[in-house]
Amino acid sequence: MNYLKVCQLTAKYLKTSVSPGSIYGDCFSVFRDDKTGIEGYTKIDNGIFIVVVKASNEDIDWVTDFSIWDLHKFWKGLRKYYPYGDPKDTKVRIHQGFAKGYMTVRESIHEAFRKSNCSYAFVTGYSMGGGVAPIVALDLQYNFNLSEDKVSCGFCGPRCFNKAGVESFNKRVPKSIFFKYGNDIVTKLPPPILGFKHVGVLKLQLGSKERWWKMSIKDHAAFNELVKEIEKEVRLINEN
């Protein structure tokens, strides 16, 4: 799966990640956890198993987004989490809210992938969905032993891995693109000083120039503009 294909699939399916309720149209399966608000759907597109993780649109979603904080031990700050086995066996750590949320829908996604009989997987998500999407992609790659050219991820969301997690993800899912529009506030959280980093072998800045000190709620809300910029990127590639 090349750069163009990742952009095409992201533009196509990122649009549906902000659909109201659980209305996804013709899909292969639907997943949702009422407690965390994490939900989405799967679809088969020309032999590719598509996973779309829905964006934040409910109050509970924002609780999940920012549950990195242990409010009872604020000064100790951040909770980093490893959801598989003994955390002493690895240095990889993942945003607790996203990782625990994903574990509630993980088996549903695994079951759908097994039933799909697909050998390719693509995952996308925006906002909260963009925090969960790379976790899904990494998990599918590892557990189904997908080669690096058979799994990809196109997403826009917050930082959700530590340094070791980024290294693992970028090695296992190299066909991945992190899209950022302007100075979207969500893409700048949690702040890197707290130990979280963005995954994605390729990071594509769209819209206005990024300013390290600026955080814009308006840019986060400009979802349609982000999609238009990705579609523009697809056209430029095709023209060249």
For 203-213, what is the mean pLDDT?
Answer: 95
Instruction: Report whether 96 contacts 68 (CB < 8 A).
Output: yes
Report the run of H or E that residue 125 belongs to, with start and end: strand 120-126
Phi, psi of 124 (to 5 degrees): -140, 160
Q: How many domains does the chain have?
A: 1
Q: List own/partner pairs for 66-71 with CB under 8 A and 24 or more apart.
A: 66/97, 66/189, 67/96, 67/97, 68/95, 68/96, 68/97, 68/190, 68/194, 68/196
Query: Which CATH number fits the domain that encloses residue 78?
Result: 3.40.50.1820
pLDDT tens, residue by residue, 60-84: 454 455 444 433 433 333 578 898 9
Range of the domain at 96: 3-239
Residue 114 has pLDDT above 70, yes or no: yes
